[in-house]
Amino acid sequence: MASQTDRHASSTGQALTGGAWLDVHFAAARPEYEVQLRAVGIQPGWRVLDAACGSGSFLPWLAELVGPTGSLAALDLAPENVALVERLAEWALPCAVEAQLGNVLALPYPDDAFDAVWFANTSQYLTDAELATALAEFRRVVRPGGLVAVKETDPTAYRVEPAQPGLILRYSQAAAKAGNVQVIGTLRAPALPRWLRVSGLTDVWRRSTLIERVAPHSPVVNAWLGGLFTYCGTLAANLELPPDDREFWGRMRDSAARERFLSDPECWFIEMNVLTVGMVPSGTEASA
């Protein structure tokens, strides 16, 4: 079993939710993440909830979008992540930000409290029933005409070179078969538009963004990929995988072999992210 360090977990026990890991991942994917957030349609003067905010990396961009007449609320399940967000007092953001401990399955806010919800890379931790509950909560706390934006990674489009085609997809399918809720949640990403429509949201749209990194990698990309491959390689030891895949993931468990792979001039990595946005209907649309 992967250690707490290899899993990059927060105090919640959820893998890849620790503040240090989130900061590295965000830094490695910063250009694409900014494009996705700015595509949502958040307007100046809005009040926006960053649900499951992690270490708060999206908050400066959100603050820029809503401006001095807007405001932000940041919610996370891990107390240490909420504490990290409180460092924002030192960032001189243009609007007020309040950080709070809480669960997306029971949001501690009144109805119609926000103009939009931003929910990034966290639907993967929810079961189907929990995702339905979270979407219902987002719809409840967003005013009619407001937006719910869900961003999630899509492992069906991942690619790693030099490795056998389909490596990540086979890993994901094997992990899902073994009951890994997080991986099952990522495999659900392409279907998120249907989930938003079923929750009652309207005008649902989707946009996929490719995050491509080619050697030679920057130090932050090396740290991101090294951490990701270590985590996946450790979990892969207990999965039903083809021999070539097992050999690859076995190498990723060895630090020297992993560094050689990352420094290979042919090393190429693609991660796909899916942004899905829906609108809370007005009273007339809701009753239609």
- Residue 41 has phi, psi (to 5 degrees) of 110, 20
Residue pLDDT, tens place only, 266-286: 999 999 999 999 999 987 555
Residue pLDDT, tens place only, 142-188: 999 999 999 999 999 999 999 999 999 999 999 999 999 999 999 99
Domains of the chain: 4-287 (3.40.50.150)
Do β-strands 96-101 and 71-76 pair in parallel, antiparallel, or remain unpaired? parallel
* pLDDT value for 286: 53
d(CA 45, CA 216): 42
* pLDDT above 90 (res 1): no
Phi-psi sector, 67: left (phi>0), alpha (psi -120 to 50), beta: left
Residue pLDDT, tens place only, 198-253: 999 999 999 999 999 999 999 999 999 999 999 999 999 999 999 999 999 999 99
Which among 173, 193, 157, 175 is positioned nearest to 269, based on CA atoms?
157
- pTM value is 0.93
Q: Are 146 and 211 in contact (CB under 8 A)?
A: no
